[in-house]
Amino acid sequence: MVTKGGDAELSCDGTSGAEPNRLGKRYLDEATAVTVLCIKVGTGRICCNGVPMTEMAQKKLPSSD
């Protein structure tokens, strides 16, 4: 896991209903501005201060015309 941003406690929610993180995706906690890049797939969902983080939308790249 690679992190960027503020000060927070990261944990993993391994409950059976939690959707696992996806490899190569970035996750954001809006309350603390912490960003996490998932570099290894696991069975749980990454949480920041006990709250599941949201997957960030992909950025549009300019065309190479």
Ordered per-residue pLDDT tens for the chain, 65 residues: 556 666 788 888 776 567 788 899 999 998 888 888 888 887 888 888 888 899 999 888 888 76
Q: Tokens 């990261």 label which residue?
A: 10
DSSP state of 43: S
- The total of other beta-carbon atoms located within 10 Å of residue 27's CB is 23
In a domain? residue 11: yes
What is the pTM for the complete model shown? 0.75
Residue 62 DSSP code: P
Residues 14 and 59: their CA atoms lie apart, in Å, by 29
- The total number of structural domains in the chain stands at 1
Domain membership flag for residue 62: no
Determine the pLDDT at residue 20.
84
Query: Would you say residue 24 lies in a domain?
Result: yes
- Whether residue 35 is contained in a domain is answered as yes
Range of the domain at 46: 2-55
